[in-house]
Amino acid sequence: MIHRKTFIPFEDPKVDLTEYLIGIMEDARTTTLQRVQGISVEELDWQYAEGWNSIGALLAHVISCENFFRIYFVERRALTKDEEEKWMPGLELGKFVPSLICGKPIEVYIEEMSASRKTMFEQIRLLSREDFIKPRMGSYDPVTGYNLAWGLYHNAEDEVHHRGQISILRKIYKTQSQRIS
């Protein structure tokens, strides 16, 4: 079995962990925004088939994940009741997808992505080097644990994964739209 490394060691103390991780997250976000630039509300809400994610639902997931990661992993606290109500539908998707298909234009998603990113970076910049590399148990690897540096990388990795789904949905949408025309 291939085993993931859930620690980013950063043994050289001269490496600026904050800027490195922010750079990874900024690049992931930039390419996500490039992928959805100019997308219509119709395409954001379109589903290939019942039960499938829409592009808007996937963007809601990216936003919800970033807020969850910030609250749970960076701020190290549980979601409040209000936060849970706000972020869990986007986190879980599945049965919540119909409620995430809501006719919002791309500008609203971009604004929400920008707000979540701004808050995430503000919180990350408050952390020490030790906060990034200190072992944490649970969640990802019950044997070795993980560190926050890897957790933040994983947040970016999740966005990139869903950006791939967005790309596929855009291609399917375009093909379906051309057949109807």
Residue 137: per-residue pLDDT:
84
For residue 2, pLDDT beyond 60: no
For residue range 139-172, what is the model confidence (pLDDT) as tens digits? 677 888 889 988 899 999 999 999 999 999 999 9
Asked if the structure places residue 118 within a domain, the reply is yes
Residue 56: per-residue pLDDT:
97
Q: 51 — alpha (psi -120 to 50), left (phi > 0) or beta?
A: left
Asked if the structure places residue 64 within a domain, the reply is yes
Rounded Cα distance between 30 and 96, Å, is: 27
For residue range 108-123, what is the model confidence (pLDDT) as tens digits? 999 999 999 999 999 9
- For the beta carbon of residue 135, count every other beta carbon within 10 angstroms: 11
For residue range 62-106, what is the model confidence (pLDDT) as tens digits? 999 999 999 999 999 999 999 999 999 999 999 999 999 999 999
Q: Would you state the structure tokens that stand for residue 98, as one six-digit string?
A: 């119909």
Report the CATH number at residue 100.
1.20.120.450
Q: Would you state the structure tokens that stand for residue 133, as one six-digit string?
A: 């590399």
Tell me the CA distances in angstroms from 28 to 33, 67, 116, 141, one per residue in order.
9, 16, 14, 24
Asked if the structure places residue 8 within a domain, the reply is no
Asked if the structure places residue 97 within a domain, the reply is yes
Residue pair 133/9 in contact by the 8 Å Cβ criterion: yes
For residue 10, pLDDT beyond 70: no
Asked if the structure places residue 84 within a domain, the reply is yes
Rounded Cα distance between 21 and 10, Å, is: 11
Q: Would you state the structure tokens that stand for residue 52, as one six-digit string?
A: 């499938």
Asked if the structure places residue 6 within a domain, the reply is no
For residue range 33-52, what is the model confidence (pLDDT) as tens digits? 999 999 999 999 999 999 99
Asked if the structure places residue 13 within a domain, the reply is no
Among 3-17, 22-36, 124-138, 159-173, the range with the most confident prediction by mean pLDDT is: 159-173
Residue 81: per-residue pLDDT:
97
Number of domains in the chain: 1
Residue 16: per-residue pLDDT:
79
Tell me the CA distances in angstroms from 146 to 29, 73, 78, one per residue in order.
23, 11, 18
Domain that holds residue 130: 37-174
Asked if the structure places residue 181 within a domain, the reply is no
Residue 126: per-residue pLDDT:
94
What mean pLDDT do residues 22-31 have? 89
Residue 129: per-residue pLDDT:
87
